[in-house]
Structure 1
Amino acid sequence: MNIGRIGLLVGVALASISASAPPSADLILRGGTIYTGSDAPFVGDVAIKGDHIVEVSPHVARAATRVIDAHGMIVAPGFIDPHTHMGDDLTSDDPARRLIPMFLTQGVTTAFIGNDGGGEIDVGRVLDSARTRPVGINYATYTGFGTIRQRVIGEAKRAPTPQELAQMQALVASAMCQGAIGLSTGLFYAPQSFSKTDEVVALAAEAGKRGGFYDSHIRDESSYTVGLLAAIDEEIEIARAAHIPAHVSHIKALGVDVQGQAPAVIARIAGARAAGLDITASQYPWSASGSSMVASLVPLWAQDGGRKAMLARFDDPTQATRLRTDMAENMRKRGGPTKLLISEGAERNRTLAEVAAATKTDPISAAIAVIRVGDPGVISFNQSEADIAAFMRQPWVMTDSDASPGHPRVYGSFARKYAKYVVADHVLTLREMIERSSSLTADTFGLTGRGHLKAGAFADVVVFDPRRYAPRATYQQPTELAVGVQTVLVNGVLAVDGGKLTGRAAGRALPHRPPTGTCP
């Protein structure tokens, strides 16, 4: 037998073996423009097997069970949202809510919950929920200063006793050992606002000892109490004194008194970082914030003791003048009654000015009447585009949504950041937007194996059409799903396929693992 004949037979045999061998990938995303999270973009393929990526290269030669054509599309790591209020959705009894469709249709595959000091104490229960109640996205959780303080002290405006402080420290330590990613605070909100810095430091240090993070809605984003710059200084001091990485959630300059202060805030944080402190921030890409009517207008002194005590003060003629004066001042700081859009309840989609006109009264009387019925969400138009852009350009500022009901940021933050601040306004490049929405967040918070497209990483991937990716949610219609995302994988499972939700729930709880020896 000649050599040519032998070669032909060997080739046939190898082809036969290859044809009968099982595919070495379950899925290949073919021909998209790949942003890995750390490298310059290139056109190529991503191969996935099981819940991991097995190859990322200009051309993947291996066989696959399915190939998705991604030509003309952007292929990126699944986005990670470090500040949300989706805890109730993720632990809901309703499987449809637990899918978190408003995130998946933007390409968000991981979210943090428990922010603003509202995280649960029983962190183990929150994380274990995903085992019996499948979720659509991955999630990590904070334990919350507000939850802990309210359990131990209640709603009183006072310092803790030494015994109460020790009790709160123990609760933080326990939550960390159950898997909390850190301690969150909302120092703007009562009763957390009644704390002093040393109290916060004592609790944050317990998270720091166990490798956790300190995340804060700072004490003042405006000029309500200490002022924006002093609140930033407090954040830096907490990081220094508690020996903990600190994160400023939804960084902003809120209200007419502080608009234009972004450069000063940036300088303070940059200085702290240069001095060796680990300070980062996140930001939602909207000029309007979202809060409640009470938090926006009622002074902190009037919230001492909770809602019942606050309502009693409304009826106390000895306090009425002071209360109305302070509420009017807080309304001025937010730009006046035309800048406050009610997003919940009977007055939804009406500004406070419109409610006052309809009821033939003044805006403060109208606000008090609304608060007597409840505490609806309000959208407050209070930021300048110059400040937003200045914060967004910082390499230590990542993308968040602060997702809470009634605001379009739940359904459109990541899509808006692309459509407005990359495509329309050119504040960021596409690469910057993607990395600050994925790898920066994963690397900052130690989410090993996530935030990058590389062999060995978990297969959290988004594929979107750069010509169509955009939000549809508006302030008047905040629950419209974003468009333009073609494919989303969560842990290797198709959650969005051909632009449509599949209904498959492949998300996982992501418990923090404290260093050895720091937990019982």
Structure 2
Amino acid sequence: MAFTMKMCFSLVFLICLLNTGAGFGAEQFDYVIANGTIHDGTGKVIERGYVAVRDGKIHSAGPGEGPACEYRIDATGLVICPGFIDLHTHSDRGIVDPKSRGAVNYLLQGCTTSVTGNCGMGPIDVQKFYDNVDKAGAGTNVAHLLPQGELRSHVIGKVNRKATPAELQKMQRLTSQAMKEGAWGMSTGLIYTPSTYADTEELTALAKVIGDAGGIYASHIRGEEEGLVGSIQEAIRIGEDASIPVHISHLKVKGTPNWGTLRLAITLIREARDKGQRVTADQYPYIAASTSLAATIFPPWSMSGGVDQLVKRLDEPEVGAKIRAAVEKSLDIKEDGKQIVIAQYSPRPEWVGKNLREIAKAEQKTALQIAEEIMRSGGAQIVNFAMNEEEVRNAMTNPWVATASDGGVMIPDATRPHPRNYGAFPRKIGHYAIREQVIPLEQAIRSATGLPADILGLTDRGYLKPGQAADIVVFDPQTIIDTATFENPHQYADGMRYVFVNGVAAVYEGTPTGALAGRALRKKSAP
């Protein structure tokens, strides 16, 4: 019987029969996916198996053809695995926007759950955010972290100073409330304002509240260039003192002079884990980063109070000279701005896709002057080609490193964003695991399924086992690959045949259905 799109949207429950016989009393199933290679999220592989789904949950999974059922998906030659869990997205706005909440760029990567609130950015009213997700549904499930930067801004502002005891107590109360409303932990963005203005003591005090409620501390650490090792040490120390699991966001080292030091960071994490501390990381599999121009080349102290205050400082002779010297030094390390490509800048859209050095040459100015002009106009999003390919490969070989996009829900437009928004997961699986064989396929799949579920504390998804939510991906191992490039990033990935979110087909025979079956995932706070 053909599975029509109407059935896909309404999820009509079909009456299925067990292998053991037909008739009254036979079990009912929504569908059975059979004859595929099962990767269950643990790293275990079943060469020919099935998954049976009933009432939006996995009823059973294992070897063989499975129970009889009127609606069966033949997955011969395909891989069946849990839906991918992206621990690090910036989908906070897009996932509740009517234009983009379908999250097609993620569904076609196989992602069924997106973690928001990363890098200290996003809504701090967790209940309101979750309610907005559930009001109209979303393409993926959503789990939220309390963003420390926004929390600090709400209580203190974007100023560079120490929190008063009263302000710290207020942040702790709001942190406790966020956990009661279902947050999964707290994130920091310690290169961004005002997150960067919090010292270790302040971060530890907030992390203790999170840890007591059973959450995690996810950190975009204070430095990913020459300060990498000290920043990893700070995160580990916060985890020790606050008795909380530590998660390092987008593990990497940036800047040609710093290449080779990622191994030191990995060694620190391994040593902490060997001592029994819970320390993990995630990674996007690319040699370029992407963030704001301000966070990339301007010193954090210069951004206190926001862009308007930066402009005022630039106009002060002594302070302005100090800022320009720091920026020029940063640009020198980045080949006079060649490594920095404009991704989004509305005042001069013709600059999008070009690097600072070539823009400066065309405008007959210096890269420093172009950077200052951009900041005086409000800033820009950039792509920074700053990482080493061998270190990217080395990071993914560690069994405690999950895959994460560091991207966001988006639809094609005139911007030139990082291709990770469209291709991070298929790139890790299709390029690095299957084609390059940097890691085994089962490890690549675990890094997107069971591992992130364990890191976050999700207990009802991430594995193909009875009782888990039916977040399921079926992909073709021969064709799965990212097609998005830095030159042409708005390209959907290939290879996803079926994606189910809470039992509903969100991708059917390679085509998005428009289903909004994702929901807010609220963590039950520890007593």
Question: Is the contact between residue 465 and residue 485 of structure 1 (CA under 8 Å) also seen in structure 2?
Answer: yes
Deviation of residue 375 (structure 1)? 1.4
1:18-57 map, 5 Å? 18=22, 24-38=28-42, 39-57=44-62
1:68 is matched with which residue? 73
Tell me the percent identity: 37
SS of the residue 1:57 aligns to: strand
When residues 329 and 16 of structure 1 are mapped into structure 2, their CA distance, relative to the original with a 3 A threshold, is closer
Q: Give the residue type in structure 2 aligned to 1:261.
A: T
- Which residue of 429, 432, 457 corresponds with 1:421? 432
Are residues 351 and 432 of structure 1, via their aligned partners in 2, closer, same or farther at CA, if it must alter by over 3 Å? same
Q: Find the counterpart in structure 1 of residue 326 from structure 2.
A: 326
Deviations 1:100-139 (A, max 9, x none): 0001011110110000011322101111223311111111
| Structure 1 residue aligned with 2:250 | 250
Structure 2 CA distance for aligned equivalents of residues 274 and 232 of structure 1: 16
Alignment of 1:216 onto 2:219: yes
Equivalent in 401, 409, 416 of residue 397 of structure 1: 401
Cα distance in 2 for residues equivalent to 1:483 and 1:416: 10
Report whether the alignment pairs 1:349 with 2:378.
no
Partners of 1:72 and 1:356 lie apart in 2 by 52
SS in 2 for 1:403: coil
Q: What letter corresponds to residue 376 of structure 2 in structure 1?
A: R
CA contact (8 A) 2:92 2:123 kept: no
Distance across 2 between alignment mates of 1:61 and 1:205 = 47
Residues 203-257 of structure 1: per-residue CA shift (max 9 Å, x gap): 111111111110000000112xxx1100000000000111110100001011123
Task: Measure how far apart 1:48 and its partner are.
Answer: 1.0
Does the aligned pair in 2 maintain the 1:462–1:487 contact within 8 Å?
A: yes
Partner of 2:469: 458
The RMSD of aligned alpha carbons is 1.7
Give the stretch that moved more between structures: 485-494 or 112-121: 112-121
Deviation at 1:266, TM superposition (A): 0.9
CA distance in 2, matches of 1:133, 1:443: 28
What residue in structure 2 maps to residue 6 of structure 1?
none
Secondary structure at 1:33 match in 2: strand
Quote how far apart the aligned CAs of 1:69 are: 1.2
1:109-508 maps to which residues of 2 (within 5 A)?
Answer: 109-223=112-226, 227-345=227-345, 346=349, 347-404=351-408, 406-508=417-519
Cα distance, 1:193 vs. partner?
1.1
Q: Could you give the per-residue CA deviations for residues 8-65 of structure 1, whole angstroms, max 9, x where no partner exists?
A: xxxxxx9998156666221111211111112233211111112111121222442323
SS in 2 for 1:478: coil
CA contact (8 A) 1:24 1:63 kept: no
| Residues 50, 66 of structure 2: 8 Å contact kept | no
Query: Which residue identity is paired with 1:352?
Result: L
**Contact 1:33-1:73 within 8 A present in 2 as well:** yes
Q: Separation in 1 of the partners of 2:92 and 2:320?
A: 37
Which AA in structure 2 matches 1:282? D
Q: Distance in 1 between matches of 2:29 and 2:283?
A: 37
Q: How many residues align?
A: 498
> Which whole-Å CA distance do the structure 1 matches of 2:20 and 2:233 have between them?
69
1:86: which partner in 2? 91
Matches for 1:99-114 after TM superposition, within 5 Å: 99-114=102-117
Q: Give the 3-state SS of the residue equivalent to 2:256 in structure 1.
A: coil
Per-residue Cα deviation, 1:335-390 (whole angstroms, up to 9, x for no partner): 44111110012121111111101111111101111222221110000001121112
The Cα shift of 1:305 comes to 2.0
Q: Which residue of 2 aligns with 1:3?
A: none
CA distance in 2, matches of 1:287, 1:69: 38
Give the whole-Å Cα distance in 1 for the aligned partners of 2:473 and 2:21. 34
Shift of 1:419: 2.3
Instruction: Sort the Cα spacing of 1:49 and 1:304 in 2 relative to 1 into closer, same or farther, 3 A.
Output: same
> Structure 1 CA distance, aligned partners of 2:426 and 2:162?
43
Residue 382 of structure 2 aligns to a residue whose secondary structure is: strand
Alpha-carbon distance, 1:505 to partner:
1.1
TM score, norm. by length of structure 2: 0.92
Indicate the SS of the match to 1:247. Answer: strand
| Letter of the structure 1 residue corresponding to residue 440 of structure 2 | T
Amino acid at match of 1:142: L
Match of 2:327, SS state, is helix
Distance 1:113 1:16, change over 3 A: closer
- 8 Å Cα contact 1:255-1:335 kept in structure 2: no
- One-letter amino acid of the counterpart of residue 483, structure 1: D
Amino acid at match of 1:330: S
Paired residues of 1:335 and 1:382 also in contact (CA < 8 A): no
Q: Is the 8 A contact 1:296 1:331 kept in 2?
A: no
Structure 1 residue identity aligned to 2:383: I
TM-score normalised per structure 1: 0.93
Amino acid at match of 2:123: E
SS in 1 for 2:22: helix
Asked whether the 8 Å contact 1:335–1:381 carries over to 2, the reply is no
For residues 332 and 245 of structure 2, the distance between their equivalents in structure 1, rounded to whole angstroms, comes to 35
Distance 1:284 1:16, change over 3 A: closer
Secondary structure at 1:44 match in 2: strand
Q: Can you give the 5+ residue segments of structure 1 that lack an aligned partner in the other structure?
A: 1-13
Unpaired stretches in structure 2, ≥5 consecutive residues? 1-17, 411-416
How far did 1:493 drift? 0.6
Residues 117 and 145, structure 1, Cα contact 8 Å, conserved in 2: yes
The structure-2 alpha-carbon separation of the partners of 1:17 and 1:379, relative to structure 1 and needing over 3 Å to count, comes to closer
Is the deviation greater in 237-246 or in 441-450?
A: 441-450
How far off is 1:261 after superposition? 0.8
- What letter matches 2:391 in structure 1? D
SS of equivalent to 1:412? helix
Paired residue type of 1:216 = S
Q: Which sits farther off after the overlay, 359-368 or 14-23?
A: 14-23
Q: How far, CA to CA, are the matches of 2:19 and 2:101 in structure 1?
A: 46
CA distance in 2, matches of 1:72, 1:242: 48
1:308-342 deviations in whole A, cap 9, x for unaligned? 11011222222332222110112233444111110
Question: Does structure 2 conserve the Cα–Cα contact (< 8 Å) formed by 1:254 and 1:334?
Answer: no
